[in-house]
Amino acid sequence: MQLSNSEEQLMQHLWKLEKAFMKDLLEAYSEPKPATTTVATLLKRMIDKKFVAYNEFGNSREYYPLVKKTDYFSKYVNGLIKNFFNNSASQFASFFTTETDLTKNELEELQKIIDKEIQKKKK
């Protein structure tokens, strides 16, 4: 299941905070801040989608993520590769390295990461 852009933005705040009350989430937004009711609606949808849960403390709820950021991002990127690059990681890598403004240093760093992963797979 996927999150809407608004839900993703809220989830980014929750991942960063790890646990948060409504006031903490509202403070995390830059101006103009969304209405409390908007954030409450987003949280309700995200709870229904099993991305967020909460603990109750009296009348207050402390929200926390049920999905790790790396897990969500991994699924998102794999979906992107499947849907836009014919399920070809090499097509994605080719597009990523040629169509983005990566510096020589960034490309060299990517090469080191890839070389390291290749060495792991050889073991």
Asked whether residue 94 falls in the same domain as residue 58, the answer is no
What is the reported pLDDT for 76?
A: 85
Q: Measuring CA to CA, which residue among 19, 59, 26 is closest to residue 42?
A: 26
For residue 101, what are the domain limits? 69-122
Q: Do 48 and 87 belong together in one domain?
A: no
Read off the amino acid at residue 103: T
Distance (Å, whole) CA 33 – CA 24: 12
Q: Which residue has the tokens 């992963």?
A: 117
CB 53 within 8 A of CB 47: yes
Q: One-letter amino acid identity for 37?
A: T
Global pTM value? 0.75
Instruction: Tell me the mean pLDDT per 10 residues along the chain, length 123.
Output: 91 97 96 95 97 96 96 89 91 89 92 91 85
Shared domain check, 91 and 41 = no
Distance from the first to the final alpha carbon of the chain: 34
In a shared domain, residues 74 and 59: no
